[in-house]
Structure 1
C-alpha cells in the first residue's frame, strides 16, 4: 500500500484550505478503531473529512459519508462534545517537512482558536490528539503511557509535545546541484536508498516515480550515474520542490497506485480528494476482504469437520441400535428353549423361529438361562432408547451440515475483491454467522433492519430477461421470499449447495429453451459443482418454494420442479 507521504499531505492540505475553509463542524463519527469522519459545512457544500491513524494507512482527506450505524466509540463522542458547532479555521503543518497537521477550531473565523486537533501521520506511531488553546491534551485516539514511551508519553491533562524532529537534511530549492550530488553520492550504493536516507519528506513512492520519470533504474549505484543522469535527476528534484513551494499538483492514477505530481500518470484525476478516497478505500477493503475470507473459510471448515465427526458418531450408534431386534430374538429363543440350557454354558445354539437356521447366543456362565434372557431384553430396550434419542440428534446435525455447506459454497463463490460489493457480501455472511451464533465478535455492530442491500449478481439471458443471483444466504432469502413474484422462475442445483437464482419474467412472458439453459448454466456455475461438466438444476415457480419452520438462512424446500442440466463451463463471469 502506498504511503501517505509528505508530498501527498501537502497537496491535500492545500486543497482543503482552498475548498473547505472556513467550515462549520456539524458531526463526528468513528467508523472503526482507526478512523473518524468529521462532517464539515461551508457556504457552498457539505462533506466528510476522513482522518485515520491506521498503522499502514494513516491519512487525511475528504471521504465518503459514514454508514448509518450506531457509533459506540468514546473518542468521537469526546471530539463532538468539544468541537461541535465550532469553525475549522486553519489547516497547517506544525513545522516544515513534518507529517503532523494542526487543525484549529474557533467560534468563528478571525477569532483565536479554542482547540487544536493534531493529526500525526507517522506509520505505526500515527495518532490524533485534541488539545485546548494552551496545548493541554484533552483526549487522544491512542494514549501512550510512560511504560510504552518514556520519551514522549501522550496522556490527558498533560502538555502536548511535538514528535522529535527528523535529523535528515531539509530539501531546498536554493541548494546547488553540486552540494546535492555530493550529499547523495557520499556512500556509493543504490540511488534510491541514498535519496531516502539523506533527505526529509522523501518516500519510497516519490523516489520510485522520480527515478522512473528520469529513466534511471532505482537500483542503479550512484558510482555508475553519468553527469547527464545527475543533471536530469536534479531537474526532477527541483521540479518536485517547485511544486511544493507553489502548491501546484497534478493528481493521477499510476500502474502501481497514484501520484500527485503527474509523474508516471496513466489516468488524470480531477479531484485529489476523490483519488485518495478511492485508493485507500480499495486498498483497505482488499486487505479486509482477504482477512475476512480466510477467517470465514477456516471457521466454516472447522465447524463442518466437527459436525461430520459428530454425525459419524451418531451413525455408528444408530448402526449399533440395529442389533436391538437381534437381542430380543435371542432372548425369546432362550426363553422358548429353557430346557436346552445347562449350567456353566458360555454359548448356546438354537434354531431360528422363522428360518430354522442355527442362531449362536453368547451366555454368561455364572447366570441362569432366565437371567441371560433378561440381560438380552435389557440390551434390546437400551438400544431402542438410544435410537429414539439419537435419530433427532443426527437429523439436527445433518441440517447444520447442510446449512454450513451452503455457507461454504457462498464463500467460495466470492473469490476475489473487485468492488466494495464483494466485501459487503462477505460481511453479510459474517453477520449471518454471528446471528446464528457460530461466530463471536465484541465489536460487531448490527446493520440497520431498514437497510437493504441489492448487490446480487446480475445477468441478461439471450432474450433480455434479467437474472438475479444471491451471493450469500441473506441475499438468497431476500431473493426467494421477498423479491420473487409469481411470474418468475426459481433455479437451484439439485441437492448441491449453491446460490438461489431468479429468472425475472413479466406477466405473459415465456422464456425459450435458450433462456432456461442460460439460467441453468448460471445456477450450476454459482454452486459447489462449478468444476463439473454437467450439473442437475431444478427450476420451479417461486410459489412452490418454502422455508421450513425454524430453518436457517438460505435453506429452502420445493415441489413441482423440473430438471435441466446446467453447464457451468459455458458461463462468462459477470
Structure 2
C-alpha cells in the first residue's frame, strides 16, 4: 500500500475515531487490533498490509491493560511515509493529562506497532528490532523509518522521459510509489511536462473522496485514491460510500486472504492427487500383463495335454521330459518333480495353468480399476486448477481424505462405482465436482446419463460398450439409482431424465456440476429397487 493511500486512510480514521476512547487491544501472529467501544480496528502486519473494521468487542481485555482508557486526540501520517500515528491522551481523575503515541508502521514485511510517551520513549513494541539502521526496543527513543527521499520542489530535473519517470521517479520523491509514477508517466506521454503531470496527479489525489480497486485476472491488484488513466484497461470497483478508502482496503484484505486460502488449498490438493497418482503408477508398474499370463497358462495347458498321454514316459529320478507337439511338430521340454508321481505332476501343471488364468482375470480387472481411478484423478487435478471457490475445493479435499474403518485405513474409490446385476457399471457422483467429472470427463458419447428431473441429485452414468444398447432392466435400475441419490429419494415415484452422454453440455461460466442436455427420455420410478440391491449386497451406507 502506498503512502498516499495510507494518507487518505488516516484522514478517515481521524474522522471516525477522533475523541473516542480505546477500551482494549489484541495481538495475533500477524495482526494488531484496537477496540473503541463496540468497534475494532485490525491492522494486518504482513505483506501485503491490510486493515479491517468490524463491530466486535475484544474478549480478553488484559493485553496492554495499562494503555486502556486513552482518548484518541487525532490520527495522522508523518513524513509522507506508510506510518499512521494515533495521538493519544490520558486524563486522570484530577484532570491531569498525559500524551502517548500509538504508531502503526505499515511497511510490508517489516511492519510494526509501537507505543511511545510524549518524549518519544518506546513503551511497547509489537516486535523488537535491532539493526544498523535503527533499533526498536523498549526504553529507547523512537526514530521514524529512514526516508532519504525529498519533496518534489526540492529536486532539479534534467531531461526526463516517460520510461524514466515510471521506473525511477519514486526513488527520489517522498510519498510516491511505482504505481503512482506509472500514472504520472502516462500524463507526460500525453503531452504534459513533468511539473504539470505531478501537480495534476497530486490535485487528483487530494480532491478525490472515492477509492478504486483494480483487478488483474479477476484478482484484486491495485488500490488507488482516484481513477487512474494508466489503468484504463483494468476492470475496477468504485467505493462510493464512506469510509471509502478503509472499505476498499478492507475488501482488498479480505479478498487477498481468500485468494491465499485458495492458493494454499489448491497446492495441498494437487500434492494429494499427485501422491495418489504415484501410488497408482507404482501398482501398475508391478502388475503383470494379463496377456502374458494367459500365454503362460496356454503353454502350461499344452504341456499338460501332452503329458497326459505320455505319463508312462516319466521314469523315476527324471526331472525333465521332452515331448513333441504333434500339431506344430515342435519339441516341448516339461519340468517335473521326481519326488511326485506322474499323476501328481500332471495335476500340478493344470493347477498352475488355472492359477495363471485366474491371476490374468484379476490383473485385468484391477488394472482397469486403477486406470479408471487414474483418469478420474487426472480430471480432478485439472478441475482443481480451474476452481476459485473455497467451498468447492473443500468438497474435493473431503473427497480425497482417507477414512478409517476398524482401525484400518482404506482409500475411497474414485469414482464411486456400482456393478449392476447384469454386470454393467454405474458411476455415481458424490458432489458437484465429481458429478461434472463423471458426466464430462469419464463418459463416452454412447454411455447413458441419468439425473432426477428438476430435483437436486447425483449424476449417474451407465457405462456401455460402443454400439451396445442398454436393456430395459438396466435403464430402470440406473434410474432407480438416480432417484436414490437425489433429494426426492423419500418422495415416492419421481421423474428421472436420461440421455446419451454425447448430448450433455456445460455452458461457460456455470458452477461445477451444472450441465444442460437434450434428446432426453423420462421414466417415473422410485428408489426402492436400488435400495434393495444395496441392502442385499451389504452396500447400504449407514
Unaligned runs of 5+ in 2: 217-221, 405-428, 438-450, 464-481
> After the TM superposition, which residues 445-524 of structure 1 pair with which residues of structure 2 at under 5 Å, given as runs?
470-472=431-433, 488=455, 490-494=457-461, 521=505
* Residues 1:84 and 1:237: Cα distance change in structure 2 (over 3 Å): same
TM-score (norm 2): 0.59
How far has the Cα of 1:9 moved from its partner? 0.8
Q: Does 1:203 align with 2:177?
A: yes
How far has the Cα of 1:280 moved from its partner? 3.9
Which stretch shows the higher mean deviation, 376-385 or 276-285? 376-385
TM-score (norm 1): 0.57
The answer to whether the 8 Å contact 2:87/2:100 transfers is: yes
Q: What's the counterpart of residue 273 of structure 1? A: 246
Q: What's the counterpart of residue 465 of structure 1? A: none
Alignment coverage as a number of residue pairs: 457
How far has the Cα of 1:65 moved from its partner? 8.2
Q: Which structure's CA Rg is the greater one? A: 2
How far has the Cα of 1:488 moved from its partner? 3.5
The answer to whether the 8 Å contact 2:493/2:525 transfers is: no
How far has the Cα of 1:19 moved from its partner? 1.5
Q: What's the counterpart of residue 452 of structure 1? A: none
> After the TM superposition, which residues 11-410 of structure 1 pair with which residues of structure 2 at under 5 Å, given as runs?
11-21=8-18, 22=20, 24=22, 28=26, 30=28, 34=30, 36=31, 38=33, 40-42=35-37, 46-55=38-47, 57-62=48-53, 81-82=63-64, 86-87=68-69, 89-90=71-72, 92=75, 95-102=78-85, 118-123=103-108, 125-129=109-113, 134-137=121-124, 139-140=126-127, 149-152=131-134, 159=140, 161-162=142-143, 164-171=145-152, 175=153, 183-185=156-158, 190-212=164-186, 215-217=187-189, 229-230=193-194, 232-239=196-203, 249-253=209-213, 257-264=222-229, 268-269=238-239, 270=241, 271-283=244-256, 285-286=258-259, 289-290=262-263, 292-293=265-266, 296-297=269-270, 299-311=272-284, 313-314=286-287, 316=289, 320=293, 334=307, 337-341=310-314, 346-349=320-323, 362-364=333-335, 368=338, 370=340, 406=376, 409-410=379-380
How far has the Cα of 1:287 moved from its partner? 5.6
How far has the Cα of 1:229 moved from its partner? 2.9
Secondary structure at 1:216's aligned position in 2? helix
How far has the Cα of 1:272 moved from its partner? 2.2
Secondary structure at 1:490's aligned position in 2? coil
Distance in 1 (CA, whole Å) between partners of 2:203 and 2:379 is 54
Distance in 2 (CA, whole Å) between partners of 1:17 and 1:341 is 106
Secondary structure at 1:192's aligned position in 2? helix
How far has the Cα of 1:200 moved from its partner? 1.4
RMSD over aligned Cα, in angstroms? 6.2
Unaligned runs of 5+ in 1: 67-75, 438-467, 477-483, 550-555, 559-574
Distance in 2 (CA, whole Å) between partners of 1:547 and 1:20 is 67
Secondary structure at 1:167's aligned position in 2? coil
Secondary structure at 1:348's aligned position in 2? strand
* Residues 1:89 and 1:470: Cα distance change in structure 2 (over 3 Å): farther
